[in-house]
Structures are given as C-alpha cells and as structure tokens.
Amino acid sequence: MAVNALPLSAVVAVIGAGAMGAGIAQVAAVAGHPVRLLDNRPGAAQQAIEGIRAQLGKLADKGKMTAEAARAAGERLQAAENLAQLADAGLVVEAIVENLEVKRALFRDLEAVVGGHCIFGTNTSSISVTAIGAGLQNAGRLAGLHFFNPAPLMALVEVVSGLATDAAVAETLFATAAAWGKTPVHAKSTPGFIVNRVARPFYAEGLRLLHEGAADCATIDAVVREAGGFRMGPFELMDMIGHDVNFAVTRSVWNAFFNDQRFLPSLIQQELVDAGFLGRKTGRGFYSYA
Ligand code: NAD
C-alpha cells in the first residue's frame, strides 16, 4: 500500500513537554512542520521550547545544521495553552504520563476538539494501544508512535497498531516517521511492543544482581558496557529514562502478562520512585548528578 507522509503544511501537536515530548517536537519542527506543544504544568511548554531552541543553536554551532535552518525550526514551535488551540492539528502525538486512564481521558477530550482527519499517535512505552483507543468514537485513528530517548538522536520508531487501528493510519505514521529521518518499524500492540519487551530482562537481571549483592551499580554497568558492548549499563540507562517512567513500564508489562514472575518489578526501583530519586531529571537515582 503506497501511503504518503503527512504534508509539511500539517500542524503537528505534541502533548506533554517532558523529555520525550520536547524531543518529538524538535524532530517535527526540524522536519518542517508547524508544531504546537502543550503541557498541563504552567510554563512547561514554553520552557521546553526555549530548551529546544538552545539545542538547535548548539547543533548549528557544531555545523550539524545551518544557523538559518536552526532559526527556522525554532520559529515553527509554538506553545499552546489548551486543547482548543490544537483544533487544526493534522497529527497529535501524546507524550504525557504513562497511565492508561489519563491517556484515555486526554484522547477523549481531544476527539471533541480536532477535525475528523486528525491522526492520533501515542508515545506510550508499554500501555496497550488497543486499550488507549477503546474510549474513542473513532479508534481507527489512533496508533502508537513510539520514539526512543533522546528522540532527536535515536533513529528507531515503533509504529504500533492496536486491534482497531486503521491500516492507512499506521502506514501514514510509518511514512511520516521515515520522512522525518527516522527508521520506523511496524509492531502489533503486545505488552512492551518490541523494544521494551526485549529490554525487560536487561533491567531486571541488573536489579536482581544488585539485590543479591553480587556487585555495585557502577561495576555491573561497567561490565555490561565493556564485555557486552552496550553503550550504557542498566543502571545508567534507568537513570536516564527516569525511574517513574521505567517502573511504570515494568508494572504495565507485568500486569499485562497476568503477573508473570519473569516481569516482576523490583523493590529497589520502587524505593527510588517513593523517594523521588527519579534519576538524571531529579539529580539523583542510582547515581548522583549534583
Ligand atoms: P516526563 O515526565 O518527562 O514528561 C511528561 C510530561 O507530560 C510532563 O511535563 C507533564 O507535566 C505532562 N503531563 C502529564 N499529564 C498531562 C496531561 N494530562 N496533559 C498535558 N500534559 C501532561 O515523561 P517522558 O519521559 O517524556 O514520558 C512521556 C511518555 O513517553 C510516557 O508515556 C513514557 O512511557 C513514554 N516514553 C518515555 C521514554 C523515556 O525514555 N523517558 C521513552 C519512550 C517513551
């Protein structure tokens, strides 16, 4: 099926201006779309836009893009204050908290605001796309559009089809991700999709080793890097992802497999979440970033 990418004139709305939403907004703006960024924390979207502009400026300084392209991409970004300001979007990418009910409620509210042609992409790491779409009048318009952290650098994008996703919607998202310079793959909505499914043992075995007192985080990370050839060990990577996000993904995969012990969440990570030691974003996780 030959399906075209979203035209560059189409407005891309990104909801959630955290680590992922900001990265996705940057990718869409650099590709040439007008982008609107919305967050329910006052000032967060504007702050993220300023961060993206600074990031684009650094890329221009390093010669990775022209100063003119960086400036133009920065100008295509606009903060939105409410859903009504996303009414003309051709694509909405959701990158809010990893919680089914909150995502469902957002898409339901969104459906009342946008036009019938608008496509919905969720950046969920692990929640069933089928379940997120189930509350919609037109569940066919929603698919997973799963970027990896940091979105501007990581090429892979999983285009995830739920049971009700229209094939044409998945193909449009696939073509759009490719047009944005990414390497998309199609996946069905199974728990964790592809990457977060195969990555579960990477974190879980590292956490079990730590729990058993086999070695400390730095040693385990170093071994995985040196001997395994990975760019990061499990503890460095969890700190980068954020323990709130990573723990939510683990719980969601565990629940989805009816509490299969293979996916059992770790009490060590639960403690970090309870303490608010969420990794790099709070300055402390397994490591300290002060
Ligand atoms: P984050 O905590 O950095 O950002 C989430 C943002 O969403 C926050 O700014 C928050 O204020 C905002 N938000 C929450 N609820 C909202 C709502 N109802 N309306 C508007 N804004 C709202 O989280 P993140 O790491 O960017 O993750 C976002 C999503 O992307 C999650 O679904 C996560 O599972 C997924 N994801 C994360 C990673 C990662 O490595 N961090 C990778 C891939 C996918």
Q: What is the ipTM of this complex?
A: 0.99
Residue with tokens 């969104």, as numbered in its chain = 110
* Phi and psi angles of residue 167, each rounded to the nearest 5 degrees, phi first: -60, -35
Q: Which of 37, 86, 123 to mutate to test the pocket of ligand 1 (most atoms within 8 A of CB)?
A: 123
User: CA–CA distance from 154 to each of 24, 163, 184, 272, 275 (Å)?
Assistant: 11, 27, 11, 27, 30
Atom 41, ligand 1: residue with shortest CA distance: 241
pLDDT at 135: 85
> 124 in ligand 1 pocket by Cβ < 6 Å?
yes
Q: What is the set of domains in the chain, with CATH numbers?
A: 11-188 (3.40.50.720), 199-279 (1.10.1040.50)
Q: How far is the CA of 4 from the centre of ligand 1 (A)?
A: 28
* CA 7 to centroid of ligand 1, rounded, Å: 26
20 lines ligand 1 (CB under 6 A): yes
Contact 236, 246 (CB under 8 A): no
Backbone angles phi, psi at 98, to 5 degrees: -80, 75
What is the predicted pLDDT for the residue at 19? Answer: 94
Q: CA separation (Å) from 189 to 28, 125, 184, 235, 256? A: 24, 11, 15, 27, 11
The pick from 24, 39, 106 for probing ligand 1's pocket by mutation, whose C-beta has the most ligand atoms within 8 angstroms, reads 39
125: CA distance to ligand 1 center in Å? 10
pLDDT of residue 203: 97
As annotated, the active-site residues are 125, 146, 158, 196
Spatial contact of 78 and 53, defined as CB atoms under 8 Å apart:
no
> What is the reported pLDDT for 1?
56
40 ligand 1 Cβ < 6 A: yes
Ligand 1 pocket check for 15: Cβ under 6 Å = yes
**Residue of minimum CA distance from atom 43 in ligand 1:** 148
Task: Supply the residue whose CA is at minimum distance from atom 23 of ligand 1.
Answer: 18
Structure tokens at 226: 């040196």
User: In ligand 1, which atom is closest to the CA atom of 106?
Assistant: 18
**219 alpha carbon to ligand 1 midpoint, in Å?**
30
Render each residue's pLDDT in the chain as its tens digit; 290 residues.
578 999 999 999 999 999 999 999 999 999 999 999 999 999 999 999 999 999 999 999 999 999 999 999 999 999 999 999 999 999 999 999 999 999 999 999 999 999 999 999 999 998 999 999 998 999 999 999 999 999 999 999 999 999 999 999 999 999 999 999 999 999 999 999 999 999 999 999 999 999 999 999 999 999 999 999 999 999 999 999 999 999 999 999 999 999 999 999 999 999 999 999 999 999 999 999 98
Task: Determine the Cα–Cα distance for residues 276 and 265; give it in Å rounded to an integer.
Answer: 17
CB 20, CB 151: distance < 8 Å: yes
